[in-house]
Amino acid sequence: MSETTTATASPAHERYSGLQIALHWATAIIIIGMIPTGMVMTSLDPSPFKNLLYELHKSFGLIIVGLTAIRLVTRWLSGAPPLVPMSPVKRAAAKATHIMLYALLVLAPLSGWAATSACCAPVNLFWSIPLTLPVSGGFDVAKRIFAVHYGLTLALAGLLLLHAAAALHHHYALRDLTLRRMLPGSGGTR
């Protein structure tokens, strides 16, 4: 990418594919909803509403597993546009953040899924398709895996804040193409 590039539409080879963009934002919206919902639902008294939140939390978490699987295959097949010009330290930080986000996108839902399978089978997708993992051990094991689930989702929330702040900094302060090439729209050609 040219060093003099400004925040105009980016050429197709410097943008994420339409599928990658769709998967990125679908994942982001679901997770931004799930983190506070997860915290709220655990603190509610037993009620049908609490059960509803649990079912939605588990089902959307399973959707994240599916979206992430498709996303990793897409990433492997289509790669990603090169990062915009930046210092080696920032480049390393951006790459490390992306790798950690991908790792958490796999591990955070898997831990919730494994814990729920251990204590509270069946795990269903929206009350219907049974998707319980073969994890035994009951509540004792589940309690320990849920602690890991909580830690991983907190790490995900922290990294998300850092990642979003960096994206907005690139867009509004540095005025480069970083955010624009992850946005849907007609920016595929100049």
Minimum gap (Å) between residue 7 Cβ and ligand HEM: 12
Number of residues in contact with ligand HEM, rule: CB under 6 A? 42
Integer Cα distance of 66 and 71 in angstroms: 9
Residue closer to ligand HEM by CB (options 135, 156) is 156
Which amino acid is located at 1 in the chain?
M
Provide DSSP, 177-189. STTGGGS-SSTT-
Binding mask 57-96 for ligand HEM (x = CB under 6 A): xx--xx-x----------x----x--x----------x--
Q: Which of 56, 90, 167, 188 binds ligand HEM (CB under 6 A)?
A: 167
Count CB-CB contacts under 10 A for residue 16. 21
123 binds ligand HEM per the rule CB under 6 A: yes
Identify which of 34, 68, 72, 71 has the alpha carbon closest to the alpha carbon of residue 53.
34
3-state secondary structure of 47: coil
Q: Which 4-23 residues touch ligand HEM, going by CB under 6 A?
A: none
